[in-house]
Chain A
Amino acid sequence: MTENKINLLVKVWRQPSTNSVGSFVDYKISVSPDSSFLEMLDEINNDLEKKNLEPIAFESDCREGICGTCGLVINGQPHGPIPKIATCQLHMRNFKDGDTVWVEPFRAKAFQVMKDLIVERSGLDKIIAAGGYISVNTGSIPDANAIPISKEISSAAMDAAACIGCGACVAACKNASAMLFVSAKVSQLALLPQGQPERTRRVQNMVKVMDELGFGSCSNTYACEAECPKGISVKNIARLNREFIIANMKSDNIEA
């Protein structure tokens, strides 16, 4: 455990509400390198509250990198400078004494700022509701081992299923595309035998809702993969494209 604290200038985006104008506000902090980034913000907030000033609004929950609640743009990068971790897993030992740190919310057309660093991400739930599931009711299910699934397939499905739904891919993309998010769910279910019956309609319905919600198109810059805290591969986007094309070729639903 290191005793030496590091001193930072933290520039935080403050915006009282969706329709108000935001700006960066400076905070000086001396913090233990063993603290997490969010614990550093907790300390700033505790100081603000002591001065009867409104604390910085930001969201976090599990603080273990799995719930997907936290998501800040730190020095221009969603989830900060270290690859494959969520904001809550970023620790202050990755910063140097005297650094200036910029903290902003995820920015995307489909993610409105609600207050300070909190954004509205319910679009991601709407995409899942459109088809991100296998339609089985509870009960009357065959034994779990009735369908053997190869380790490779199951493992590839798990790679895709690891998505935490944080939206960093959207925030990283210059088009604010949600393709990596959508492709992860489409891939997981398209790979598994259980997902076959709805394979066609699933991809069509999810892509349709994604487009309707104002998420942009994919232009293959791979920024999403680079910023994804779970390292979800852009290969999933390739699979999504293939699934989508095949679905449209197979579909009886002909649109003019």
Chain B
Amino acid sequence: MAKLDPKIPAGPLQEKWVNHKFNMKLVNPANKRKYDIIIVGSGLAGASAAASLGELGYKVKVFTYNDSPRRAHSIAAQGGINAAKNYQNDGDSIYRLFFDTIKGGDFRAREANVYRLAEVSNSIIDQCVAQGVPFAREYGGMLDNRSFGGAQVSRTFYARGQTGQQLLLGAYSALMRQVHLGNVEIFTRREMIDLVTIDNQAKGIVVRNMVDGLIEKYSAHAVVLATGGYSNVFFLSTNAMNCNTTAIWRAHKKGAFFANPCFTQIHPTCLPIHGEGQSKLTLMSESLRNDGRIWVSKLKKDMREPNDIPEEERDYYLERKYPSFGNLSPRDISSRSAKEVVDEGRGAKGGEAVYLDFKDAINRLGKHVIEERYGNLFEIYETITGENPYNVPMKIYPAPHYTMGGLWVDYNLMSTIPGLFILGEANFSDHGANRLGASALMQGLADGYFVAPYTIGDYLASAKPKKESLDHPAFDTVKKENEELIGKLLSIKGKQTVDDIHKKLGRIMWNKVGMGRNEKGLNEAIKEITDLRDEFWKDVNVVGTDKDINQCLERAGRLIDYLELGELMARDALARNESCGGHFREEYQTPEGEALRNDEEYAYVAAWEYKSLGSWELNKEALIYENVKLATRSYK
């Protein structure tokens, strides 16, 4: 236990963050410019942290594998961002947002972190409005809200179906202002491939310049990873093509514990798979569930067109099973319910899809209202599928979307490696075993704007870390290791392409470490993944050289890490003999088929310590609930 000190401040929940901020050591304004901070990733968490740290006067370097920081995958978030403003006078409060998030996460998140998240949520909205983010408004000029899954209040702020884009562009503009002022330097087309630690402290990173192939070294007083999630381990997910786990995985192998890797979110409203050539899956915002009704036929293998199926032969299964929350039930429950009806053979035309129908909403509100609310989403749907959702119900199916697991961090968002901070989706901290809709944007910006700028300052002021020279042998050792790794990849010259092997991994993960998991399947998955790893190192063909732009090499490098992470996800799922949130172990369910948690034995964070390839030690951080009573989650 001693290895994991979450450093939760003492005192009542409501006072922890306030007191903690007061007790922090400060860096004198004139001294801030003497500190260098590396930030990897330019999404909501990375860009907001970089801008805020730059404003404070630190010298910040931002790294992104994209051609511009504005491309980060936060940009694709559609639906909205939660905050406890209670503008709708519907009974919202910081405590309610905290409670909903803890409950939504199926009581597997840390109370103190989640409370802080709810506490700073309101400042995020203020900040974004001040930056010129054009949130939706009412005719009176006030901000509009909508509802999201897992909540009975309207607390979601949105900018049409492009909330992530607008929030990211807000953070990006703040970042570019700091670039202009000379406080932040941006390194585009660089992929972090390793962390450099000296005496177990984070001292810098090694990156591959994706244009000329050179391996570059950078040194700093502190390193921040804000590199997102790892859903692409499934090959098909809603993540962008380049999203990867390399930065956090290689930091994991350098000593950062990986927490709850099996907690992955399968999003209920994505477009179904069209065929073998599918490269990724497209999400349809959960906000659609405000007005769309989800149903399937009551009959098996019903091949009729959806509009030909009469009302009495439709099963609105979420409304039937969960009357209080209905179509707005949380994501894990909605996804599992969709899988159940499809497994029964009642999917749309017998296939892997369910209907999301707007007929009633159009009749009730008029087409123009639906168009105003979801117009761009309907257009996206029609572009991809060739069907018009104003006339024909949408077809949707769950897909891997978000990873609640990530590198373990303490209350200060620092990993088990001193000086290494993890923000946003890359850490494990706030969503427990299931994330509520519109909470990812909230967490990314909370970490970046309002938490890390304080806690990193405190680290610099109290630990007084030294910046190491790039001539230190540790940098060259790590550089050389990675050059050799790349050389090895290029020399295999096997028969399979990188994507061939990635697709194989994806199938193992989806079938055995996906929506439903069991002991037998997980043991098989571990064996299959380790075999596939051997196959990769014998039979992959990485075309081209390491001297210029080589996307094949980029993908191969990322796949190495997925092939290792996939095994850990399966091991974590196997070790957690309970069902909670997105982790559904088929052996542990109630007679009604709901997740059966085991708080006696599993109310802990599983933090895995890397020993060697295929070998980890499990460390447990007990989750102590002082304010919330652990209860069976019910949305009935």
Contacts and interface: CB of A to CB of B under 8 A. Distances in A.
Contact of B159 (A49, A129, A131, A158): A158
A21 interface: no
Interface string B502-523: 0000000000000000000000
B211 A114 contact: yes
A162 B169 CA distance: 10
A148 B275 contact: no
A98 interface: no
A68 B279 CA distance: 17
B415 interface: no
A54 B143 CA distance: 51
Nearest to B239: A62
Nearest to B141: A148
A14 B73 CA distance: 28
The binding surface of chain A is classed by DSSP as loop
A256 interface: no
Given A89-B384, A138-B51, A61 B71 contact: yes
A161 B131 CA distance: 12
Interface string A140-184: 011111011111001101100110110000000000000000000
A220 B559 CA distance: 48
A82 B143 CA distance: 34
Contacts of A147: 129
B173 to A, nearest CB: 4
Contacts of A43: 277
A250 interface: no
A66 B279 contact: no
Contacts of A149: 137, 141
B215 to A, nearest CB: 19
B549 A114 contact: yes
Interface residues of A, number: 82
Contact of B173 (A68, A134, A145): A134
Contact of A39 (B134, B176, B278): B278
Interface in A184-243: 188-189, 192, 194-195
A85 B383 contact: yes
B493 interface: yes
Nearest to B448: A138
A42 B143 CA distance: 43
A135 B177 contact: yes
A54 B499 contact: no
B498 interface: yes
B552 A55 contact: yes
Interface stretch (B119-127, B303-311, B321-329, B462-470): B119-127
Contacts of B282: 63-64
Contacts of B495: 50
A32 to B, nearest CB: 5
Interface stretch (B62-70, B91-99, B593-601, B622-630): B62-70
Contacts of B126: 141-144
Contacts of A139: 123, 127, 449-450
Interface string B536-559: 000001011000110110000000
Contacts of B52: 137-138
Interface in B337-384: 379-380, 383-384
Contacts of B164: 66
A67 B179 CA distance: 21
Interface in A91-138: 91, 93, 114-115, 118, 120-122, 124-125, 128-138
Given A62-B76, A129-B176, A154 B137 contact: yes
B42 to A, nearest CB: 11
Given A151-B141, A161-B134, 18 more contacts: A1-B274, A1-B275, A16-B548, A36-B279, A39-B278, A42-B499, A46-B497, A60-B241, A61-B71, A67-B73, A67-B75, A118-B549, A129-B179, A135-B177, A143-B126, A150-B137, A158-B159, A192-B134
Which 5 A/B pairs are nearest by Cβ-Cβ distance? A148-B141, A133-B173, A34-B274, A158-B134, A144-B129
Interface of A: 1, 16-17, 31-32, 34-36, 38-40, 42-43, 46, 48-50, 52-55, 57, 59-69, 82, 84-85, 89, 91, 93, 114-115, 118, 120-122, 124-125, 128-139, 141-145, 147-151, 154-155, 157-158, 161-162, 164-165, 188-189, 192, 194-195
24 contacts: A42-B279, A46-B500, A50-B541, A52-B493, A55-B551, A55-B552, A57-B551, A60-B241, A64-B282, A64-B283, A66-B75, A67-B66, A69-B67, A84-B379, A89-B384, A91-B384, A114-B211, A128-B173, A134-B173, A144-B125, A145-B85, A149-B141, A157-B134, A194-B132
